Structure 1
Amino acid sequence: MTDQNLWYSPDAKKEAPRWACGLCGFGLFVYQSLDAIDGKQARRTGTANPLGELFDHGCDSISTVFVALSACIAVQLGYYPGWMFFQCFCAMTLFYCAHWQTYVSGTLRFGRIDVTEAQYTIMAILLLSTIFGPSIWSTKIPGLDMEVKLIPIGVACAVALLLAQANVSIIFTGGVGKNGSTVAGTSVLSPVIPFSMVLVPAFIIYQKSPQHVYEEHPALYILAFGLVAAKVTNRLVVAHMTKSEMDYMDWSLLGPTMLFLNQYFNTFVKEHYILWLCMLWVVVDLLRYCYQICTEICEYLRVELFRIPYPGGPQRFFPAVVTVPTEKNGKSEKKIHLSDGEDVVPLLQNEEHS
């Protein structure tokens, strides 16, 4: 449903219809509600397994991009391209850091103010845009030379700093592996490299573009790089589930590389065309990766992807499955992960399927 906002305001400057903002907010509410109860439903039906967790976090990694974009469009943040870039990539970075600290500590932690509260805040923003129209956020604050939209931006920055500090403190405290390493026995700083290969090129291409490709097409630009970040995050989730080392290179990085090389050779081709080509490549590569991962996990665990076993039928046995703790507001819970034994999905440790 977020696509409605992207369709009517791809530059985040045009005023999206109120009904589009309302539909987007309703879709986010439904998504958040289902995301909160999927674990209970899986345990109730006896289908809790690593595939479900990969689906959960995989969908979250993609929705993070769309939700951040929808919030920016709802307040017409395209008039502040730098802030829009910061807000969207900050959301992707925080999501990646949450799984980075999980890879280090072995425990997925949620604070008192975290992703759920952020989603409800965005719902409130979309609701206000539905009632009063997106232009309400461009109203000047009496006595101050600033627009109303800068208030949620400032609050978001403050919360982001607090969340980042919490994740970084856990990462630098040391991991649960040997000599303070990650669950895979690797350096606690190793996951910073794959994500830096997404974030740094995105910023450089944005700053150096002679044709202002980001300012002219911000939604497309953020979508392209956001899906690359989503795939890298999914690979980090898989690395944690299998307790294996995470590769630095990824085929999805070929898309940003095309943009970088085109700039290096004095924009031989219009950057807008290369950006669309990058987007197409990233989508195809992400779909291919998801299909291969899900197929091999299903074959290994002997489960079906979108079907629930008939009640009373033979019980499924999931080898190489263990429970790993999670924390929400200091309360311990359990999550299902693949174990670190010899029985792991072949694809997940095969470097050529990055």
Structure 2
Amino acid sequence: MAYIPQASLDNLKKYSYKGVDKSLLSQYVLNPFWNWFVTLWPLNVAPNTITLTGLSLVLMNFFTMLYYDLGYLAEKGGATGPPQWVYFTWAAGLFLYQSLDAIDGKQARRTGMAGPLGEMFDHGCDALNTTLEVILAARALNLGRSWWTVASQIATLANFYLTTWEEYHTGQLFLAAFSGPVEGILMIVAIYIISGIYGTEVWDTPILTFTKLDKIPFIAEHVQNVGLNEAFMAFGAIGLAFNILHSYANVRQASRAKGQPTVRPLLLLLPFVFSATLQVIWLSHPKWNHSAIIQSPLFVPFLCAWGLQFAHNVGRMILAHVTSTAFPIWDWMWIWSIIGVVDAQLPRILGRPPVIQSSYESTAVFVYMTLVISFLAYARFCTLVINDITNHLGIACFTVRKKDAEGNWRVAEKPAEKAKSS
């Protein structure tokens, strides 16, 4: 199918990025660093190349985790995670990702390449990074294969969905005083560093014991002494609630200014609720001659498939934003997930074993098929959208082009060539 209707292609030329960043840390600490960092990049380096470089660093971190986990799995049948020093590389990789993600827009303005393609590419990489960092952070927090990790996935994806939903309705990207792309990422960087110094077991330390508050009788009696990692999850839940209220306040204000209904946008949050519910029901299937997905090595590929489906969904939302088209509600990949859910829940529904996921081996095949199909669907989306945008606007994805005197896009000269011609 075509992702951009022919009648909406001209809307790409009308798009211009708008953003509001209220983070004091971003304005007074990070932005001066980013302004200097972007000057290190030659003007012939395309902004999307910088974005992809950042995502590549996160992928290296992710493959490092898989290397150690799968190596141990093959040898002993269980997973212990990477050695402590690896977490420092994760911290460095994520910090560099944040920096490169911040300067790609600055590079776009330096080279005159700012536009809808960069917006799509940037958000696409961010969507992929969201799931990858959930898995890595869960490993660093020693959460393992648990419902805490699932809760982290839901909360993190919900925050990203909210931001995209808000941008679609308001026309601009809002970053609050405490936002995921700034303070949230730096918190995860700090988690990696702490895990590198003390090991992941430190996060199992009861929070009252860690803070010495258990020595106060009233607190020790009335406050549950949960682990630091569980306390961090509670903090994330509070942050999600705050972001929901903040995002809706902005959407409500924008809708009122346009004379549009203020409640209807809330209904467009239901697609995320529906998709997340599907994944949770699938994971909560009763055991049938084998362990549940959440307790097996299939957990990570399952989360990755979920993340790719989410990236496809929010990618269509951003595309609708830059092309001024209708908000996407249905995703055909949900049909595949529904099949997986119904099959896994057959013991509860009909009291009979699953047809497809009747054994660990067959479940593994189905989960990996889900991963492959999700990847191919998202790759197809990216390919078609990039081709449509580049062909219609006459630009390139990874080549810097500038407008000449006649207003046509031309490949920018490299610094050496420019000096030679002059």
**Scaled by the length of structure 2, what TM-score is found?**
0.68
Q: 1:27 aligns with which of 89, 93, 117?
A: 93
Q: 2:231 aligns with which of 140, 151, 171?
A: 151
Please list, as runs of the form range in 1=range in 2, the aligned pairs for 1:242-257 lying within 5 A after superposition: 242-257=323-338
Partner Cα distance (1:193, 1:147) in 2: 32
Letter of the aligned partner of 2:354 in structure 1? T
Q: In the alignment, what sits opposite 2:340?
A: 259
CA shift, 1:209, in A, is 4.1
The DSSP-based 3-state class of the residue aligned with 2:244 is helix
Q: In the alignment, what sits opposite 2:61?
A: 2
Q: In the alignment, what sits opposite 2:53?
A: none
Answer with 299-308 or 162-171: which moved more.
Answer: 162-171
Letter of the aligned partner of 1:39 in structure 2? G
Partner Cα distance (2:371, 2:117) in 1: 26
Q: In the alignment, what sits opposite 2:396?
A: 304
CA contact (8 A) 1:13 1:76 kept: no
Answer with 173-182 or 90-99: which moved more.
Answer: 173-182
Structure 1: tracts of 5 or more residues without a match: 318-354
Partner Cα distance (2:355, 2:246) in 1: 44
Partner Cα distance (2:202, 2:406) in 1: 58
Structure 2: tracts of 5 or more residues without a match: 1-59, 215-219, 347-352, 358-362, 410-422
Answer with 170-179 or 46-55: which moved more.
Answer: 170-179
Partner Cα distance (1:22, 1:313) in 2: 49
Bigger RCO (CA 8 Å, 6+ sep): 2
Q: In the alignment, what sits opposite 1:339?
A: none
Q: Aligned pair 1:192/2:269, yes or no?
A: yes
CA shift, 1:226, in A, is 1.5
The DSSP-based 3-state class of the residue aligned with 2:266 is coil
Residue deviations 1:301-348, cap 9 Å, x none? Answer: 00011111279787546xxxxxxxxxxxxxxxxxxxxxxxxxxxxxxx
The DSSP-based 3-state class of the residue aligned with 2:174 is strand
Q: In the alignment, what sits opposite 1:334?
A: none
Residue deviations 1:61-97, cap 9 Å, x none? Answer: 1111111211111111126x22211111110011001
Q: 1:103 aligns with which of 168, 174, 182?
A: 168
CA contact (8 A) 2:285 2:345 kept: no
The DSSP-based 3-state class of the residue aligned with 2:157 is helix
Partner Cα distance (2:336, 2:85) in 1: 34
Q: In the alignment, what sits opposite 1:16?
A: 82
The DSSP-based 3-state class of the residue aligned with 1:109 is strand
Letter of the aligned partner of 1:250 in structure 2? D
CA shift, 1:255, in A, is 3.6
Q: 1:40 aligns with which of 103, 106, 113?
A: 106
Letter of the aligned partner of 1:56 in structure 2? D
Q: In the alignment, what sits opposite 2:370?
A: 278
Please list, as runs of the form range in 1=range in 2, the aligned pairs for 1:307-322 lying within 5 A after superposition: 307-309=399-401, 315-316=407-408
Please list, as runs of the form range in 1=range in 2, the aligned pairs for 1:128-207 lying within 5 A after superposition: 128-141=194-207, 142=209, 143=214, 145-173=225-253, 175=255, 179-180=259-260, 187-207=264-284
Number of aligned residue pairs: give it. Answer: 314
CA contact (8 A) 2:130 2:156 kept: yes
Q: 1:288 aligns with which of 376, 380, 393?
A: 380
Q: In the alignment, what sits opposite 1:92?
A: 157
CA shift, 1:48, in A, is 0.8
CA contact (8 A) 1:32 1:119 kept: yes
CA contact (8 A) 2:113 2:402 kept: no
Letter of the aligned partner of 2:388 in structure 1? E
Letter of the aligned partner of 2:232 in structure 1? P
Answer with 36-45 or 116-125: which moved more.
Answer: 36-45
Answer with 62-71 or 1-10: which moved more.
Answer: 1-10
**Scaled by the length of structure 1, what TM-score is found?**
0.80
Q: Aligned pair 1:121/2:208, yes or no?
A: no
Letter of the aligned partner of 1:206 in structure 2? L
Partner Cα distance (1:229, 1:162) in 2: 22
- Which structure features the higher share of helix residues? 2
Q: Aligned pair 1:66/2:132, yes or no?
A: yes
The DSSP-based 3-state class of the residue aligned with 1:223 is helix
Letter of the aligned partner of 1:154 in structure 2? A
Q: 1:177 to 1:245 in 2, by over 3 A?
A: farther
CA contact (8 A) 1:239 1:246 kept: yes
Partner Cα distance (1:176, 1:7) in 2: 52
CA shift, 1:177, in A, is 8.0
Letter of the aligned partner of 1:226 in structure 2? G
Letter of the aligned partner of 2:144 in structure 1? G
Answer with 302-311 or 31-40: which moved more.
Answer: 302-311
Partner Cα distance (2:402, 2:246) in 1: 44
CA shift, 1:260, in A, is 1.7
Larger radius of gyration: 2
Q: In the alignment, what sits opposite 2:144?
A: 78
Q: 1:131 to 1:205 in 2, by over 3 A?
A: same
CA shift, 1:172, in A, is 4.2
Query: How large is the Cα RMSD of the aligned pairs?
Result: 2.7
